[in-house]
Structure 1
Amino acid sequence: MKIANIGGRAHIVTATGGVDIEQASDGRFTSDNQRLIAQLDELQLWYAENDPIEDPSLSTDHLVRTLERLQSPVPYPSQVFAIGLNYKAHGAEVAMATPQEPMIFTKFQSSISGPGATVTLPSNTVDWEVEMVVVIGQGGRNISQDDALRHVAGYCVGQDISERTLQLACKPPQFSIAKSYAAFAPMGPWLTTADSLDVSSLRLTCKVGDETLQDGNTKDMIFDVPTLISYISSICELRIGDILFTGTPDGVGMGRKPPMYIEDGWVLESSIEGLGTIINPCRRI
């Protein structure tokens, strides 16, 4: 199942149409995408039993052509976890050692934006990082790796946009603040529920025009999704609707020789197999 945020209202979207969840269920389910995460199991049963009428103008194909209509499918998580250096080749390209345990930072909630949001560039050293985003559906502490995937509501495509000058202005680097400008965490295009696919081996790419900037696969993550959930929950209580940016493959601008950064007028196209594509125009202040 795919759950989109259209104009601030939760919708089920399919290849043939979309359904306003609150309206179609006569108020049984909320229109609020964030609160709906706690109701996903019940929602899936209701949808299978009721076969509500779909609006063809809200099909996945229509929405992909007008991504600016969509907002983040997880608009205000209480906690945002992000994983640094989770692909060995990415660590090598930025000359940083492979971590022995997950490297955790946060992107502040105010940076979250939709799949078609325009990214305003505060400098000429802004970088791209396509990532798979995990959405927590069942919270808890000390979650075992064996149980971890049962705590996942679904997945999204995300971009961990990063301002490198600020990030490296201090020693040690200050990851979180440098990755939290407005619209530096575009997500979407929708939440794909966890029962829809196996995310252990998915291709993820980032392109600008005809040029492929990144081309990786989730199978190359150093710490996989169960490991990340188990590790984080051993320290922090995970809550329903929390999100995890799971790291980026190689191909970022900072790792190039010479470095290469997002230019005014670029349109970043970030895709993950089975999860969809987000498209973000970039504009200089």
Structure 2
Amino acid sequence: MKLATLRLPRRTAAARIDGDHAVEIGRPDVGALLADPEWREVAAAADGPWHPLSTADLAPVVPRPGKIICVGLNYRTHILEMGRELPEYPTVFAKFAESLIGPYDDIVLPAVSQVMDWEAELAVIVGTTARNVTPEQATACIAGYSVLNDVTARDYQTRTLQWLQGKTFEATTPFGPYLVTPDEVAGTPMTVECAVDGEVMQQADAGDLVFSPAQLIAYLSEILTLRPGDVIATGTPGGVGHARKPPRYLADGSKVVTRVSGVGELVNTARRHG
């Protein structure tokens, strides 16, 4: 099953994707849907108004998650090729909901930074409350997967040892287009890819993650309670602009395509503001 949040006149609506159409579920967004313990049954049975997917205006799939937790240094091959040791524990930081944009919205390049960088990521959306769960139990806590680009202001990120200020600029983080339930991608490789102006910059198999989605949920649930609609961005592979020689960053008009095979694709244009 695939779910999305539609932008409609004066409201939003959670929808199930049926072929070329989006079918309203009767909830204001996917986050609100996930708050219902019977969300799978509700979504599967819904038969609300239909909308052509070709003209649908999609919001971030979960517009206002209670938590957005991101993971750094999580692709095994990239870590080893840089001569680093594999981490013992996940490196985690946060973003805020104000940073999120829809899957086809413009990425805002803020006036205060000239070094905005791309970071393609597989996103995990939590479907049930999780506290002190094991990795085996954590698998059942995954509502589904989505695509996220953790666009980063590298200069603000490196101003201090804490990364948050470079990671959560407003209207910089495309997220969506869908929540894809685990059964839809079971047994198939998920390739994470980012192309900028038609050139593939990042490409890696999500199977190369040091800490899997279930391991991340288990670890984070030791720290705090994860709730339905919370989002975990699992990390980005090699190929970011900041590491290139010479470095390369997003410019006004840059087209950024972020995809995870079997999950979906984001298509965004960077626009300079101010």
CA RMSD in angstroms, aligned pairs only: 2.0
Match of 1:221 among 206, 209, 217: 209
Match of 2:131 among 134, 141, 155: 141
Q: 1:167 to 1:92 in 2, by over 3 A?
A: farther
- Structure 1 residue 284, shift from structure 2 partner: 1.6
- 1:140 partner letter: A
Name the SS for the 2:249 alignment partner.
Answer: coil
Would you say the 8 A contact 1:70–1:114 is kept in 2?
A: yes
Match of 1:76 among 64, 69, 74: 64
Written as runs of structure 1 = structure 2, the 5 A alignment for 1:115-126 is: 115-122=103-110, 123-126=113-116
CA distance in 1 between partners of 2:246 and 2:105 (Å): 28
For 2:23, the equivalent position in structure 1 comes to 19
CA distance in 2 between partners of 1:125 and 1:199 (Å): 38
Q: 1:208 to 1:243 in 2, by over 3 A?
A: same
- 1:251 partner letter: G
Question: When the two structures are aligned, how many residues end up with a matched partner?
Answer: 265
CA distance in 2 between partners of 1:135 and 1:108 (Å): 15
Q: Name the one with the larger strand percent.
A: 2
**Residue 239 of structure 2 corresponds to residue 242 of structure 1:** no
CA distance in 1 between partners of 2:188 and 2:20 (Å): 28
Runs of 5+ unmatched residues, structure 1: 23-29
Match of 1:150 among 128, 136, 140: 140
**Residue 30 of structure 2 corresponds to residue 42 of structure 1:** no
- Structure 1 residue 94, shift from structure 2 partner: 6.9
Would you say the 8 A contact 2:132–2:222 is kept in 1?
A: yes
Q: 1:120 to 1:44 in 2, by over 3 A?
A: closer
- 1:204 partner letter: V
- The percent of aligned pairs where both chains have the same amino acid is 34
Would you say the 8 A contact 1:77–1:242 is kept in 2?
A: yes
CA distance in 1 between partners of 2:30 and 2:156 (Å): 33
CA distance in 2 between partners of 1:117 and 1:92 (Å): 35
Q: 1:105 to 1:95 in 2, by over 3 A?
A: farther
CA distance in 2 between partners of 1:45 and 1:209 (Å): 38
For 1:6, the equivalent position in structure 2 comes to 6
CA distance in 2 between partners of 1:85 and 1:284 (Å): 29
CA distance in 1 between partners of 2:229 and 2:13 (Å): 16
| Alpha-carbon displacement from aligned partner over 1:153-197 (angstroms, at most 9, x marks no partner) | 111110001000011112x2x211211111222100111122322
Would you say the 8 A contact 1:108–1:177 is kept in 2?
A: no
Q: So what's the TM-score if we normalise by structure 2?
A: 0.90
Runs of 5+ unmatched residues, structure 2: none
Q: 1:5 to 1:44 in 2, by over 3 A?
A: closer
Name the SS for the 1:106 alignment partner.
Answer: strand
Written as runs of structure 1 = structure 2, the 5 A alignment for 1:1-285 is: 1-7=1-7, 8-22=12-26, 30-39=27-36, 40-47=39-46, 52=47, 55=50, 57-59=51-53, 62=54, 69-91=57-79, 98-122=86-110, 123-170=113-160, 172=161, 174-198=162-186, 201-285=189-273
CA distance in 2 between partners of 1:102 and 1:200 (Å): 25
- Structure 1 residue 4, shift from structure 2 partner: 1.2
- Structure 1 residue 14, shift from structure 2 partner: 2.0
Name the SS for the 1:146 alignment partner.
Answer: helix
| Alpha-carbon displacement from aligned partner over 1:168-227 (angstroms, at most 9, x marks no partner) | 112x2x211211111222100111122322277311111123210111110111111111
CA distance in 2 between partners of 1:166 and 1:95 (Å): 25
Q: So what's the TM-score if we normalise by structure 1?
A: 0.87
| Alpha-carbon displacement from aligned partner over 1:6-42 (angstroms, at most 9, x marks no partner) | 11211111223221222xxxxxxx2332110133222
CA distance in 1 between partners of 2:77 and 2:23 (Å): 42
Q: 1:139 to 1:33 in 2, by over 3 A?
A: same
Q: 1:242 to 1:120 in 2, by over 3 A?
A: same
Q: 1:94 to 1:70 in 2, by over 3 A?
A: farther
- Structure 1 residue 98, shift from structure 2 partner: 3.3
Would you say the 8 A contact 1:81–1:245 is kept in 2?
A: yes
Name the SS for the 1:234 alignment partner.
Answer: helix
